[in-house]
């Protein structure tokens, strides 16, 4: 580990925290439906959309209606993307004449982008321009907006008193897309173009290498997709190499900005939550708990990557592990990137996670197993974290001698039932899927490596899919009907079996009275609460995965120390 | 009521028996976590006979025994808590079974045949056969069977003291009682059911907690049932018995086993405190109270006011005023009247000891609000300032009338009640009656404030007096000149703001407010209507108890939270005991996770399961006694409890499992 490396991490953290308030305030204005300077230009567009769709943005929806409209919208866009991918061979804008995807691959890919996962069973280069732009890029916006909309709905549950509605799904979607994602991405894309990221309808250029060989270099509208890929924590790369590709991520500056842009909306939403419930310290407490876990994870990964592989040291290769890393980023920036991308549900990578040291790679895995609540994906991070907060209040809140309440709302059987249901989805799909793949021949055919490392490859795939991360550990041949189907199911369940309970909780909470805070209320700000949150996330969210981690990365690590590699 | 100690042989014996009868699946299924444990224990018992495992017989048998013990410890905890209540119930039931009722037509029938609306006659020496209302006569009644208080109380037709309770004894006179409860729903029946805990309904918070425990059980079931798949990948397998051990140690057996004992014990504490809650929900609500409405008289001040000072008007000497006040009060037998006599004879040294024979006493009436005495032609009047002025028309407009008002106002501002004295239509001055604030209430209200509870004093006094007393007693707010409607409106307003309100009351006109409040404590001396409207009845009729009731509610909730936290925190150590033991055969290097240095895999597993079982009886005393509540505010309280039960819950099993492992290895058990 170097001073330079730590400085990078420190500056990153400072900027991240500094951006939380402005970002959160902007999101709060949109949450409230307030007029912003952007309304001068985009207001008519927004109203035009409503008129076109016949939507009354002020019509409050109860949670069932909100959830129903959300699900219908997801199913419709899923079906649309499935068709675009399946039949890209006969659709326009396919200058390279690429074939349509197979049914299982198209299913997997469409689910993947609908659920903000962006797991890529296909390789980015096998898609037509139409598929990239109409099939996938659209979801980059919509799935991100969906996540934020759900977070808004849950915030309203906490903030409102004795209300029947939790907002309007269409209004939330439109406003988030129009006033947050779209303008931010335009600015961001321009920055990327200026930094050297291509933005063109040309599909490739031919270059002559120094040896005189002809090389075809693929290009395309990369910058625009890159912007939303990061801001919307989508992570689906234009190229298969993702952010390790120089056209996606040309240098140190773009790398730094990309990492920030992955987390900026997630951290901002913690502040928005605080504003929504009328006490910004509530938001800061959540962010603090997230950052404790984030810093701990970053430390482990950076330390392990910098320590390197003892087996290679014996061969005289001193220093940290550079396998699978880009020389232009180095160890610290790669380690930080891999923690950032899995803390959020992004899944973009600038280094190959399969090549991380076992414990260095365990942190990204563990981040996702916690349900990506360490800052987390846009919207998904905060609504997932609030589910844990509900359980934390419920377990420990009684210890102050009152029935549990969080930001003034009583936490009762209904909320507990729904929160547990949502959290149980993670072990069910991750561990259940991994166990199944570990015994079925179709599953066993997947991993490239043997031993615990191979096991980690399977575990990582199911974890990444269920947590809607989409990053690939690599080493797993996932483009098979078995994995496409299983992982597709994991992505769908991991997304909507958490969103629907979260909306139900929002509905249940919105209908309740607000209990004013007093000296006798359970304190949900301050260090004690931060510690409690971390404890509950680790014990209820993390411990379940300890057996799988012991048999995967931990066994892998111990073997490596003893000089055995897989 | 007798106070039983925690563990008497008389209670433990039957509880052990009951622990076994509670294994009945129909009963056990109500506790899903213990039920799961029992199913797993049964499964292993069956597998033992089928065989086909590499594990040694001795290890398997020990494991199975400890699993069954885990279940039995849980049922035992519940049985013990119920047993404590049942001892009380038995004596109550004995009273009930011997009750008979005499009907107006002279017939005698068993009390169990009485219906609502029946009329019964009760005479000296009889036990009252059913809950009811006195409709004719006055009697003194010994209610010690219910309250433990042997001093008799007066029960009479009409007014606020008309309610009588089954099982109490009339010790003088004769009354006619109208039965107000259907058979089996009376006070005594409810009390029996409550202390026995047999018909106990789970409270909302208990239901929610049970859901969480079931949820955790499901999550851990998923975690454990996927392990064989993982092990298969690693080219090995894990015996079912070891998977079962991991599952049972991870699921929250500790809190599940103690949950109903905590609830029963909490209710029991309230009953021992002579408060009868009609539901467990009310006890939970007591912990949540934000606002306490307290009646001034009897709660904040000692019931009676005492004369503190005579304030003569210009042209009247203090002696003259003291003499007049004394004469007007000699026949006044109220505590206030007597205090005036004492003050005049004491501090003001008036030498009169009794009224002359010719004196004619004018009694106090609600209409005139004046009392006094006529001695010969001299008329002395004493009463509320405005009442005295009204009785002497024209005085109010004079200069002395103005002075009187000014002095009266000054006295009121000091929290005292002014009484005017007039002789033959001439104003003499004012007697100041001082409300005596009970010793220690200021500190109590300070405590309540730290607990986040606002106290509101309810009084019929005028706002000036009320404000002064409120300031002296240290309450947060007051409601002066309060009518029952004002009280109800105040409760509604607080509830609209999301606050929970507790109050106590005894009169029929309190009933709506009692019903509206979240915790309404009716005084046992109160009317049947009040007792019906409240969700708790204080058998001692002591309004101060409201404060303790809140404390008991908090104690119940804290105990539940502390043991839940402890139970969940225990899982970390258990993982570290079992995971290395389970996987060391697959990857020997995973032995480094054996941070406790347990002697062997089998001993590690056994030690974890033994710890998991033994922690239940070890925590039974805490569950029954309750975690001590300290009024130190939520923040410090949480810090304290989190340190003890959270951090303690993480660390204790590391030490416990290690110790047990030393014993297990030392004895060569595994």
Tens of pLDDT along A121-134?
Answer: 887 678 888 888 78
User: Average pLDDT of chain A?
Assistant: 92
CB contact under 8 A, A518 and B453: yes
By three-state DSSP, how is residue B372 classified? strand
Which range, A187-201, B294-308, B358-372, is most confident? A187-201
pLDDT in tens, A425-484: 999 999 999 999 999 999 999 888 888 999 999 999 999 999 999 888 878 888 999 999
Instruction: For residues A197-205, give the mean pLDDT.
Output: 83
User: Average pLDDT of chain B?
Assistant: 86
CB of B645 within 8 Å of any CB in chain A?
Answer: yes
Among B residues 477-496, those touching chain A with beta carbons less than 8 Å apart: none
B163: its two tokens: 């309610």
Q: Look at B169 and A273; give whichever has higher pLDDT.
A: A273
Query: CATH says B305-434 is which class?
Result: alpha beta
Instruction: For residues B434-454, give the mean pLDDT.
Output: 84
Q: Which residue in chain B has the smallest CA separation from A420?
A: B215
The percent of residues in chain B predicted with pLDDT above 70, rounded, is 94
pLDDT for A9: 96
Indicate if the pLDDT at residue B4 is higher than 50: no
Query: CATH says B287-299+437-538 is which class?
Result: alpha beta
Q: Which residue in A352, A371, A368, A358 sits closest to A551, CA to CA?
A: A358
Backbone dihedral region of B381: left (phi > 0), alpha (psi from -120 to 50 degrees) or beta?
A: beta
B638: nearest CB among A431, A522, A561: A522
CB contact under 8 A, B634 and A400: yes
A401: nearest CB among B233, B554, B571: B554
Instruction: For residues A371-385, give the mean pLDDT.
Output: 93
pLDDT for B1: 36
CB count within 10 Å of CB A361 equals 28
CB of B647 within 8 Å of any CB in chain A?
Answer: no
If pLDDT is split at 50, 70 and 90, which confidence band does B51 have? confident
pLDDT in tens, B208-254: 999 999 999 999 999 999 999 999 999 888 999 999 999 999 999 99
Which of A220-224, B198-202, B361-365 has the lowest average pLDDT? Answer: B198-202
C-alpha count within 13 angstroms, C-beta hemisphere, residue A130: 21
pLDDT for B194: 66
Chain A residues with CB under 8 Å of B453 CB are 518, 520
Q: Are B527 and B163 in contact (CB under 8 A)?
A: yes
Q: Which residues pair with A199 in a beta bridge?
A: A221
Identify the residue among A390, A402, A439, A563 best suited for mutation to test binding to B, counting B beta carbons within 10 A and taking the highest: A402
pLDDT in tens, A305-340: 999 888 888 887 778 888 889 888 999 999 999 999
In order, the DSSP letters of B202-252 are: PPHHHHHHHHHHHHHHHHHHHHHHTHHHHHHHTT----HHHHHHHHHHHS-
Among B residues 275-314, those touching chain A with beta carbons less than 8 Å apart: 284, 287-288, 290
Chain B residues with CB under 8 Å of A413 CB are 204, 207-208, 211
If pLDDT is split at 50, 70 and 90, which confidence band does B3 have? very low
Indicate if the pLDDT at residue B149 is higher than 80: no
- Dihedral of the alpha carbons of A525, A528, A534, A540, in degrees to the nearest 10: -100
CB of A551 within 8 Å of any CB in chain B?
Answer: yes
CB count within 10 Å of CB B184 equals 10
Euclidean distance between CA atoms B503 and B506, whole angstroms:
10
Euclidean distance between CA atoms A347 and B492, whole angstroms:
53
> Measured in whole angstroms, how far is the alpha carbon of residue B53 from the centre of its chain?
54
Fold of B114-181: 2.70.150
CA angle at residue B454 from B449 to B455, to 5 degrees? 105
Chain B residues with CB under 8 Å of A391 CB are 212
Q: How far is CA A7 from CA A2, A13, A524, B42, in A?
A: 9, 10, 32, 59
Is the pTM above the cut of 0.90? no
Identify the residue among A159, A520, A522 best suited for mutation to test binding to B, counting B beta carbons within 10 A and taking the highest: A520
Identify the residue among B230, B582, B622 best suited for mutation to test binding to A, counting A beta carbons within 10 A and taking the highest: B230
CB of A519 within 8 Å of any CB in chain B?
Answer: yes
CB count within 10 Å of CB B580 equals 21
Indicate if the pLDDT at residue A545 is higher than 90: yes
Residues of chain B with CATH 3.40.50.1000: 287-299+437-538
Q: What is the DSSP letter of A166?
A: -
Indicate if the pLDDT at residue B2 is higher than 50: no
Residues of chain B with CATH 2.70.150.10: 114-181
Residues of chain B with CATH 3.40.1110.10: 305-434
Binding-site residue positions of B for ATP: 332, 336, 364-371, 382
Q: How far is CA B546 from CA B300, B507, B519, in A?
A: 12, 17, 9
The percent of residues in chain A predicted with pLDDT above 90, rounded, is 72
pLDDT for B415: 78
Q: Which residue in chain A has the smallest CA separation from B228?
A: A435
- Rounded to the nearest angstrom, the minimum Cα separation between B240 and chain A is 16
Helices (H), B358-479: 385-391, 399-413, 441-450, 463-473
CB contact under 8 A, A396 and B575: no
Percent helix, percent strand, percent coil in chain A, to nearest 5: 65, 5, 30
A400: nearest CB among B499, B637, B646: B637
Among B residues 186-205, those touching chain A with beta carbons less than 8 Å apart: 204-205
If pLDDT is split at 50, 70 and 90, which confidence band does A262 have? very high
User: What is the per-residue burial (b if ≥16 Cβ within 10 Å, else e) of B448-460?
Assistant: bbbbbbbbbbbbe
pLDDT for B133: 86
Instruction: For residues B330-347, give the mean pLDDT.
Output: 85
Q: Are B99 and B80 in contact (CB under 8 A)?
A: no
Give residue limits of the domains in chain A: 24-248
pLDDT in tens, A6-58: 999 999 999 999 999 999 999 999 999 999 999 999 999 999 999 999 999 99
Q: Number of A:B CB contacts under 8 A?
A: 223
A523: its two tokens: 């304190």
Active site residue B295: yes
Indicate if the pLDDT at residue A106 is higher than 90: yes
If pLDDT is split at 50, 70 and 90, which confidence band does A71 have? very high
pLDDT in tens, A549-560: 999 999 999 998
Instruction: For residues B465-491, give the mean pLDDT.
Output: 88
Euclidean distance between CA atoms A66 and A72, whole angstroms:
10
Which range, A497-501, B170-174, B592-596, is most confident? A497-501
């Amino acid at each position: 580990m170097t001073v330079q490396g730590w400085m990078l991490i420190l500056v990153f953290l400072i900027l991240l925290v500094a951006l939380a308030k402005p970002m959160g305030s902007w999101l709060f204005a949109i949450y409230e439906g307030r007029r912003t300077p952007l309304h001068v230009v985009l207001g008519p567009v927004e109203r035009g959309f409503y008129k076109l769709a016949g939507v009354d943005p002020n019509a409050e929806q109860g949670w069932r209606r909100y959830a129903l409209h959300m699900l219908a919208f997801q199913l419709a866009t899923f079906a649309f993307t499935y068709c675009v991918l399946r039949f890209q061979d006969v659709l326009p804008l396919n200058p390279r004449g690429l074939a349509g995807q197979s049914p299982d691959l198209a299913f997997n890919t469409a689910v993947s982008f609908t659920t903000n996962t962006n797991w890529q069973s296909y390789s980015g280069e096998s898609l037509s321009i139409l598929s990239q732009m109409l099939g996938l890029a659209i979801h980059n916006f919509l799935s991100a907006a969906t996540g934020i909309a759900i977070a808004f709905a849950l915030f309203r549950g906490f903030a409102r008193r004795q209300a029947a509605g939790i907002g309007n799904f269409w209004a939330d979607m439109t406003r988030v897309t129009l006033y947050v994602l779209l303008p931010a991405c335009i600015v961001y894309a321009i920055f990327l173009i200026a930094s050297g990221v291509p933005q063109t309808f040309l599909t490739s250029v031919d270059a002559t290498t120094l040896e005189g060989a002809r090389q075809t270099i693929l290009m395309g509208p990369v910058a625009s997709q890159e912007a939303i890929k990061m801001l919307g924590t989508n992570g689906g790369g234009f190229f298969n190499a993702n952010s390790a590709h120089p056209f996606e991520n040309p240098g140190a500056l773009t790398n730094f900005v990309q990492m920030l842009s992955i987390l900026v909306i997630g951290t901002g939403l913690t502040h928005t939550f605080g504003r929504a419930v009328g006490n910004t310290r509530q938001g800061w407490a959540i962010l603090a708990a997230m950052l404790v876990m984030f810093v701990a994870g970053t430390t482990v990964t950076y330390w392990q990557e910098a320590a390197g592989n003892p087996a290679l040291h014996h061969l005289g290769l001193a220093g940290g592990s550079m396998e699978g890393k880009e020389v232009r980023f180095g160890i610290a920036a790669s380690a930080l990137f891999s923690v950032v991308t899995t803390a959020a549900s992004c899944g973009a990578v600038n280094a190959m996670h399969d090549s991380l040291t076992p414990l260095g790679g365990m942190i990204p895995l563990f981040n996702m197993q916690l349900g990506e609540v360490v800052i987390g994906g846009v919207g998904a991070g905060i609504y997932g974290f609030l589910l844990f907060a509900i359980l934390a209040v419920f377990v420990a809140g009684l210890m102050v001698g009152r029935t549990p309440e969080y930001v003034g709302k009583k936490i009762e059987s209904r909320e507990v039932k729904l929160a547990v249901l949502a959290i149980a989805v993670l072990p069910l799909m991750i561990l259940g899927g991994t166990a199944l793949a570990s015994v079925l021949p179709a599953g066993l055919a997947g991993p490239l490596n043997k031993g615990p490392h191979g096991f980690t490859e399977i575990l990582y795939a199911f974890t990444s899919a269920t947590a809607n991360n989409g990053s690939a550990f690599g080493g797993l041949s996932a483009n098979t009907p078995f994995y496409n189907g299983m992982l597709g199911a994991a992505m769908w369940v991991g997304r909507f079996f958490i969103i629907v309970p979260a909306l139900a909780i929002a509905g249940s909470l919105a209908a309740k009275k607000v209990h004013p805070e007093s000296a006798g209320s359970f304190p949900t700000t301050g260090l004690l609460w931060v510690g409690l949150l971390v404890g509950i996330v680790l014990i209820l969210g993390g411990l379940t995965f300890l057996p799988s981690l012991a048999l995967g990365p931990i066994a892998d690590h111990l073997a490596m120390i003893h000089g055995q590699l897989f | 009521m007798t106070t039983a100690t925690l563990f008497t042989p008389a209670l433990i014996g039957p509880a052990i028996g009951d622990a076994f009868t509670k294994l009945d699946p129909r009963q056990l299924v109500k506790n899903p976590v213990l039920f799961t444990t029992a199913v797993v224990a049964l499964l292993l018992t069956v597998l033992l006979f089928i065989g086909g495992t590499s594990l040694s017989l001795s290890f398997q048998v020990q494991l199975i025994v400890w699993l069954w013990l885990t279940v039995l410890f849980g049922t035992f905890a519940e049985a013990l808590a119920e047993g404590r209540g049942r001892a009380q119930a038995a004596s109550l039931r004995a009273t009930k079974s011997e009750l008979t009722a005499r009907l107006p037509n002279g017939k005698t029938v068993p009390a169990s045949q009485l219906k609502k609306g029946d009329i019964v006659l009760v005479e000296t020496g009889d036990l009252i056969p059913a809950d009811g209302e006195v409709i004719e006569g006055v009697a003194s009644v010994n209610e010690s069977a219910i309250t433990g208080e042997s001093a008799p109380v007066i029960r009479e037709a009409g007014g606020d003291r008309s309610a009588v309770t089954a099982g109490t004894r009339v010790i003088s006179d004769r009354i006619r009682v109208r039965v107000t409860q259907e058979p089996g729903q009376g006070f005594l029946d409810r009390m029996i059911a409550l202390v026995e805990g047999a018909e106990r309904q789970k409270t909302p918070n208990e239901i929610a907690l049970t859901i969480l425990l079931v949820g955790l059980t499901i999550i851990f079931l998923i975690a454990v049932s996927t392990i064989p798949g993982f092990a298969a990948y690693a080219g090995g397998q894990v015996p079912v018995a070891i998977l079962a051990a991991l599952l049972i140690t991870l699921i929250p057996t500790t809190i599940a086993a103690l949950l109903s004992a905590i609830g029963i014990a909490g209710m029991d504490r309230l009953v021992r405190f002579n408060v009868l809650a009609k539901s467990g929900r009310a006890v939970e609500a007591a912990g949540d109270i934000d606002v306490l409405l307290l009646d001034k008289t009897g709660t904040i001040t000692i019931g009676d006011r005492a004369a503190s000072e005579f304030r003569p008007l210009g042209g009247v000497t203090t002696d003259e005023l003291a003499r007049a006040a004394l004469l007007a009060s000699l026949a006044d037998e109220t505590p206030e009247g007597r205090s005036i006599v004492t003050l005049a004879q004491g501090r003001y040294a008036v030498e009169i000891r009794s009224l002359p024979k010719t004196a004619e006493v004018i009694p106090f009436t609600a209409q005139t609000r004046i009392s006094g005495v006529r001695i010969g032609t001299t008329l002395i009047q004493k009463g509320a300032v405005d009442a005295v002025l009204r009785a002497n028309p024209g005085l109010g407009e004079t200069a002395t009338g103005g002075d009187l008002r000014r002095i009266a106002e000054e006295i009121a501002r000091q929290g005292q009640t002014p009484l005017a004295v007039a002789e033959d239509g001439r104003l003499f001055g004012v007697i100041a009656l001082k409300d005596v604030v009970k010793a220690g209430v200021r500190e109590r209200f300070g405590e309540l404030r730290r607990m986040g509870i606002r106290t509101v004093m309810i009084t019929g006094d005028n706002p000036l007096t009320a404000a002064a007393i409120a300031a002296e007693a240290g309450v947060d707010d007051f409601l002066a000149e309060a009518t029952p409607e004002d009280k109800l409106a105040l409760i509604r307003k607080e509830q609209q703001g999301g606050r929970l309100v507790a109050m106590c009351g005894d009169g029929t006109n309190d009933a709506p407010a009692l019903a509206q409040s979240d915790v309404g404590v009716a005084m046992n001396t109160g009317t049947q209507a009040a007792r019906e409207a409240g969700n708790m009845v204080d058998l001692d009729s002591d309004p101060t108890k409201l404060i303790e009731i809140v404390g008991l509610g908090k104690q119940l909730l804290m105990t539940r939270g502390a043991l839940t936290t402890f139970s969940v925190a225990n899982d970390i150590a258990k993982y570290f005991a079992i995971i290395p033991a389970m996987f060391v055969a697959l990857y020997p290097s995973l032995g480094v996770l054996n941070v406790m240095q347990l002697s062997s895999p089998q001993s590690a597993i056994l030690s974890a399961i033994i710890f998991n079982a033994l922690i239940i009886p070890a925590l039974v005393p805490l569950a029954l006694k309750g975690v001590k509540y300290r009024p130190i505010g939520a923040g410090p309280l949480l810090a304290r409890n989190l340190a003890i039960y959270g951090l303690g819950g993480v660390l204790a099993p590391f030490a416990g499992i290690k110790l047990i492992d030393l014993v297990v290895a030392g004895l060569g058990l595994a």
